[in-house]
Amino acid sequence: MQYVIDTSVGFKWAVSEIDSDKAIQLRDDFNNASHELLAPDLFPIEIANALAVAERAIRLKPGEAALFLADILKSSPSLYPAIPLLPRAIGICLITKQSVYDCLYVALAERENCELVTADDKLVKNLQPQFPFIRALASFP
């Protein structure tokens, strides 16, 4: 089974939040070759930014952002070039008013014919009616 995951899922691998246990289980299953995780190649950049923001906001201790990033990169999903996804992503962006960044993940899942797993409730609410392959992380057992 293949899943596209977005930054909201990968972030939960490092920072304890609601449904972090589900994100970690998804990662552990990937590491055990139970399924494949995919993401556009901006995934590590977005993760690095989210961790830096969390450290600046004192949600993480000084130096933890870099440590967590290194750990996440060890279990990184298979990364796909974003540029070929851009035409479809911008099309989705214009009809849904979501960011191009989010729409890259949607475009990849659509192209690979698999589910996009996200912990972004707004993304699920706004896009799932048009893109039923978007799945909330919270729906995992």
Supply the CATH number for residue 89's domain. 3.40.50.1010
Q: What is the mean pLDDT of each run of 10 residues along the chain (141 residues)?
A: 97 95 96 96 97 96 96 93 98 96 98 98 95 97 85
Confidence at residue 75, expressed as pLDDT on a 0 to 100 scale: 86
Strands 134-136 and 36-40: unpaired
Confidence at residue 12, expressed as pLDDT on a 0 to 100 scale: 97
Confidence at residue 90, expressed as pLDDT on a 0 to 100 scale: 98
Confidence at residue 141, expressed as pLDDT on a 0 to 100 scale: 85
Q: Which residue range forms the structural domain that includes residue 125?
A: 2-139
- Specify the pTM: 0.94
Q: Per the structure block, which two tokens stand in for 132? A: 């039923």
The structural domain count of the chain equals: 1
Alpha helix stretches (DSSP H) within 17-63: 20-31, 43-56
